[in-house]
Amino acid sequence: MSRVLETPMHHASDLLTWLDGSRDDGQGRLPRIDQPLTVTLDEAPRDIQLIQRPGRTLVWRRSQAELHPVVAGEASEAERARPAAATFTLAGTVSDPAGRFNPRLFSVSAGAAAGHPLALYPSPAGTLLGAAGGLQLALRYADADAPDADKYAGTRLAAWALVRVQITPLVGPVQHYTAQADARGECRISLRRVPQLPKDAPAPDYAALLTVQADPATLDTAAADPDTLLDRQIGDPAAANSFTDQVAFRFRPGQQLSLTSFGKDHLVLAAT
C-alpha cells in the first residue's frame, strides 16, 4: 500500500459564468452560453490567469500562496477546504467571435470564489424570430438640446439598449422576454414561448407591454454593461411629442411586429 507523502492543492480565485439573457425559462433561470467567448481584461492583478470553458471562465491568482497549499501527507477534509483570500476588482469586456451575441462590459469584486453570473444578449443577426414571431425595433434618442418642438426627432442611435417585453397569455403566468439592441440601436426579440390562440379565444391576440433601459453615454462605445442601464421613457406610438414609461400593444402569435413612436419609423427614447 502506497503512502501519500504530500497533498498539493490548487483553489481557483473565482468563476465567471456567461449566460444567455434572452432565454429565461420563466423561473428566472438562464442557460449557459455553449460556445467560445473572448474575455479581455482592463483591470486585474498582474498574476491573473484565465482558463476558458464554454459558458465559464475560471479565474486563478498564481501569487496567492494560501490558495495553493501543500499539505504533508494526505489532506483531511478540513485541510481541503478553500481558505479565505483577498478580493480584487476584475473588469473587462466579453465578446463572441462569431457575432451571435452582443459584447458586454463587466466589473466584479472577485477572489472570494462566490461566482459571478453575467448575462449576454443575442445580436440581431443571432436572433431568429421563428414561427412564433416577435419584434423588430429601431431605437433612437430624443435630442435633449433641440427646441421643444424638435426634441422628438430621435436621431441618435440608442446603442446597447435593453428591451423588455411582457406577454399576458389567456392562461398561465405572464411571460417575460429580454433583448438588447446592437451598436446601431437595432433590436430583434423572439417571442418563442407565446402559445397559439385557441379557436374560441375571446380576442385575436395577446396583451403586451414594452419597457426600455438605456444610457445615452453608450452611444459611441464598443460595448456597455447591461446591468448599469436605467429605465427610459419611450415616445408614445399613439400621441405626438409625448413620452410614456411603457408601451402597451397587442401581439398575435406568428406576427413579426415593428413598434414605432407616433409619426416616426423608430422608437424614440427620452435622453434624460
- Domains in the chain (CATH in brackets) are 6-120 (no CATH), 124-269 (2.60.40)
Here the cell at position 109 is 469584486
User: Can you tell me the distance from the alpha carbon of 158 to that of 218, in angstroms, rounded to the nearest whole number?
Assistant: 8
Here the cell at position 32 is 449557459
Residue 1 pLDDT class (50, 70, 90 cuts):
very low
Write down the number of H helices and E strands in the chain. 1, 21
User: Can you tell me the distance from the alpha carbon of 13 to that of 87, in angstroms, rounded to the nearest whole number?
Assistant: 9
Q: What is the DSSP letter of 78?
A: H
Residue 198 pLDDT class (50, 70, 90 cuts):
confident
pLDDT attached to residue 65: 54
What is the residue-averaged pLDDT of the chain? Answer: 86
Do 210 and 165 contact (CB within 8 A), yes or no? yes
pLDDT attached to residue 7: 45
pLDDT attached to residue 11: 57
Distances (CA, A) of 239 to 1, 101, 197, 244, 265: 84, 34, 30, 10, 14
Here the cell at position 118 is 453575467
What does the pLDDT average to over 223-238?
96
Distances (CA, A) of 31 to 19, 174, 193: 6, 20, 15
More confident residue, 13 or 43: 43
117-155 confidence digits (pLDDT tens) = 999 999 999 999 988 899 999 999 987 666 555 666 667
Task: Report the DSSP pairing between strands 134-141 and 256-257.
Answer: parallel
Do 214 and 229 contact (CB within 8 A), yes or no? yes
pLDDT attached to residue 5: 46
Here the cell at position 102 is 452582443
pLDDT attached to residue 149: 55
Closest CA relative to residue 11, chosen from 60, 48, 45, 53: 60
Cα–chain center distance at 264? 27
